Amino acid sequence: MMMSGKYTTIDNQQLQGSVPAVPDPPSVTVKFTDSNLQTFPPSQAQGKITGGSRPPRDADDSFSKPVSGSDEPQQGGWLRNFAVAAYKPYFDVDTSDVLERIIDSLFPFRGTFNEKTSTNPDLYGPFWICTTLIFVAASIGTFVTYIAHKLKDKEWDYDINLVTWSAGLFYGYVTIVPLCLYVILKYFSVPAGLVQLFCLYGYSLFVFIPALCMSIVPLDIFRWVVAGVAGLMSATFVALNLRAHIKSAGERWFFIVAGIFLLQLALSVVLKIYLFTVSV
């Protein structure tokens, strides 16, 4: 036993002597370069209108400037009107932008909507506000007529014309009225942006969504009050935001603003008479 231990010791010593010692590897310092991934989220805004792709202040130039960062082939002249890339900047907004503009439309006496959207007007919010109004107006109007007929034991038939009429009213109003106003302002040499007018009028219609929902109450006087309040809020919102801008037209500015105000009121009256005047 002792001899085997001795041989084992000798063998270990021989092995240690025969295998050269491996020196420790030199220390290597790894230096990482700065990366944008160290900060999250990145400093550059994503999903919002940036300085390079914001729509111009005047709609006259909106189809003559290339869209920054677009991979699609650029077309010149009036052919850009039919290119999807020409309209991308006006739909490049996020939920916080749309909600902020909707809240501004519910506080019409501020008159700061045009200032906030002067550099980045959008068409996303106006499109969905009008689309929502079409289905809300058609569904609420249909429900009101259904209840009125059932209370008097009358036969009721669904009127599909409510949908088509609502679509023509809201899409037509938010398109034709700003376009006519744009032509009038150009005639009086008042600088105006067509897209910004579309944006302003589109958001001005949001107040009619809760107004239509409240008009389900079967009291005619209550419906008139709701329609009047909604019309006043919408008309005040548009008139106050355009007043300072239209004053450069000279003495005629008051008549232009008054016409804008009265036309917006007329919209609420039309909604009340057509949707909630039930004949059975």
38-67 average pLDDT score? 42
Distance, CA of 146 to CA of 143 (rounded, Å): 5
Q: Please report the pLDDT score of residue 51 as a whole number.
A: 41
How distant, in Å, are the alpha carbons of 37, 43, 122, 252 from that of 33?
11, 18, 39, 63
Distance, CA of 44 to CA of 264 (rounded, Å): 40
225-230 average pLDDT score? 92
Distance between the two ends of the chain, CA-based, in angstroms?
A: 119
Half-sphere exposure for 98 (CA within 13 Å, toward CB): 17
Q: Please report the pLDDT score of residue 35 as a whole number.
A: 38
97-125 average pLDDT score? 90
Range scoring the smallest mean pLDDT among 68-72, 78-82, 145-149, 198-202:
68-72
Distance, CA of 21 to CA of 161 (rounded, Å): 95
- pLDDT above 50 for 91: yes
- Closest to 202 in 3D by CA, of 130, 131, 260, 96: 130
Number of Cβ within a 10 Å radius of residue 260: 21
- Each residue's pLDDT tens digit, 238-274: 999 988 778 776 777 888 889 999 999 999 998 888 7
Q: Are 95 and 103 in contact (CB under 8 A)?
A: no
Q: Where are the domains of the chain?
A: 46-92, 99-276
- pLDDT above 60 for 14: no
Q: Please report the pLDDT score of residue 174 as a whole number.
A: 94
How distant, in Å, are the alpha carbons of 72, 108, 112, 196, 201 from that of 243?
40, 13, 11, 15, 14
Q: Please report the pLDDT score of residue 134 as a whole number.
A: 92
Q: Please report the pLDDT score of residue 46 as a whole number.
A: 42
Range scoring the smallest mean pLDDT among 30-34, 107-111, 132-136:
30-34
Range scoring the smallest mean pLDDT among 28-42, 70-84, 245-259:
28-42
- Each residue's pLDDT tens digit, 171-196: 999 999 999 999 988 888 888 889 99
Task: Please give the model's pTM, rounded to 2 decimal places.
Answer: 0.69
Q: Are 196 and 121 in contact (CB under 8 A)?
A: yes
Higher-confidence position of 275 and 131: 131
- pLDDT above 90 for 27: no
Higher-confidence position of 6 and 175: 175
59-78 average pLDDT score? 46
- The rounded mean pLDDT for the chain is 74
